[in-house]
Amino acid sequence: MANGIALSPCEDYILIAETSVCRIIRYWVSGTNAGKKEVFVDNLPGYPDNIRLSATGLYRVGISTTRFPSFFAPFLDALGPYPFLKRLIAKVTLTLCGINCWCCKNVDFFFPPPSVK
Higher pLDDT, 64 or 76: 64
pLDDT for 41 equals 92
Q: Is the pLDDT of residue 19 over 70?
A: yes
Q: Is 17 helix (H, G, I), strand (E, B) or coil?
A: strand
Output the pLDDT for position 116: 59
Is the model's pLDDT at 40 over the cut of 90?
yes
Amino acid at 90: A
Please state the rounded mean pLDDT for residues 68-94.
68
Could you tell me which residues are beta bridge partners of residue 51?
61
Predicted local confidence at residue 20, as pLDDT:
79
Q: Choose from 25-34, 65-74, 78-87 the range with maximum mean pLDDT.
A: 25-34
Considering only residues 115 and 17, tell me which one the structure prediction assigns the higher pLDDT.
17
- Is 72 a residue whose pLDDT tops 60? no
If 0-12 CB within 10 Å is exposed, 13-18 middle and 19+ buried, where does residue 15 land?
Answer: buried
